[in-house]
Amino acid sequence: MALPHSVRLVEVGPRDGLQNEAHPISVANKVQLVNELASCGCSYIEAGSFVSPKWVPQMAGSSEVFSAIQRLPGVTYAALTPNLQGFEAALAAGASEVAVFAAASEAFSQRNINCSISASLKRFAPIMAAAQAAGVPVRGYVSCVLGCPYEGAVAAAQVAAVAHELHAMGCREVSLGDTIGTGTAGATRTLFDTVAARVPRNQLAGHFHDTYGQALANVYAALLEGITVFDSSVAGLGGCPYAKGASGNVASEDLLYLLQGLGIETGVNLEALIGVGQHISQQLGRRNGS
């Protein structure tokens, strides 16, 4: 498939990134990160998550983050919501979009959200209804699409089945997450080709973690499969609290550099984004992952 002229970037650093950083970070610094990302031209920012603070303490304070950010016109400020309680909190905080998250593996579903895949999908039904009533779009995630930390290999057909359920219940886009970064380019092509039989390609996104240095190759493989939306974290922040050893998302700066080299537009200013990555890495006292 021909490469696209433009790609939409979903900046997940303030959520997927910060949820797994050991160094505590204040609400003020989180707000600053979101504001800086928006001023670089990031038009979609996952700014926090409304999950149990006992499960993911790093995301406590997401309500305060949403109330304090300076909202730029045209920017979507999204939140992760595992259940109706989380959705109601996200709505009250003014999230412009929410995301529900399911897994392609039963063991990961249990460890991550304490229920089976089918129970999680049932749990999302009231979120979908409430979101529709409130006019809030919903994005869906499927985790462990190219491997599970507990079960190993995951069949592409199983990913397709879960992605199809999320799409059928009204998710406007389904992001396929290589949670532990074990995917390779060939497996990525097969995955998107299989899932595209059940969810239109223009409603799929790629979400790659870089544990084995394969994330950019996997993005390129997904581009060749006609995928035009990618999730990334500034400075390659983070990982997943329920996937030991998994490293952060593909770094937004590296992704942008790849896309620029291919002549693909994103609307994001690379120089400015590099500055944001340096800034947050200093605040966290960590090496910049880009």
Total residues in contact with ligand HMG, by rule CB under 6 A: 26
Residue 132 binding ligand HMG, by CB under 6 A: no
Let me know: does 272 contact 234? Beta carbons within 8 Å.
no
Residue 192 interacts with which of ligand HMG, Mg ion, none, CB < 5 to 8 Å by class: none
Task: Pick from 77, 141, 192, 230 the residue near ligand HMG by CB under 6 A.
Answer: 141
**CA dihedral (286, 281, 33, 77) positive or negative:** negative
Q: In the window 75-104, what residues touch ligand HMG (CB under 6 A)? A: 80, 82-83, 85-86, 101
Residue 240 binding ligand HMG, by CB under 6 A: yes
Among candidate residues 148, 224, 156, the one with its CA nearest the CA of residue 194: 156
Min separation Cβ 241 and ligand HMG, Å: 6
Task: Pick from 9, 75, 102, 113 the residue near ligand HMG by CB under 6 A.
Answer: 113
CA–CA distance, 10 with 213 (Å, rounded to integer): 20
The token pair at 38 is 């928006």
Min separation Cβ 28 and ligand HMG, Å: 22
138-143 and 173-178 beta bridge pairing: parallel
In the chain, count of helices (H) and strands (E)?
Answer: 10, 8
Total residues in contact with Mg ion, by rule CB under 5 A: 1
Residue 230 binding ligand HMG, by CB under 6 A: no
Let me know how long the chain is: 290
Q: In the window 243-282, what residues touch ligand HMG (CB under 6 A)? A: none
Known catalytic residue: 42? no
Min separation Cβ 73 and Mg ion, Å: 28
At 179, is the secondary structure helix, strand, or coil? Answer: coil
Residue 241 binding ligand HMG, by CB under 6 A: yes
Min separation Cβ 264 and ligand HMG, Å: 23
Let me know: does 195 contact 176? Beta carbons within 8 Å.
yes
Among candidate residues 183, 102, 201, the one with its CA nearest the CA of residue 142: 102
Residue environment code for 34-44, b if the CB has 16+ CB neighbours within 10 A, otherwise e: bbbbbebbbbb
Residue 16 binding Mg ion, by CB under 5 A: yes
Whose tokens are 């895949």? That residue is 117
Give, as one character, the DSSP assignment of residue 265: B
237 or 263: CB nearest Mg ion: 237
3-state secondary structure 60-75: CCHHHHHHHCCCCCCC
Min separation Cβ 1 and Mg ion, Å: 25
- Residue numbers of the site for ligand HMG (CB under 6 A)? 16, 19, 49-52, 55-56, 80, 82-83, 85-86, 101, 112-114, 141, 143, 177, 179, 207, 209, 240-242
Residues that bind Mg ion (CB under 5 A): 16
- Catalytically annotated residues: 240
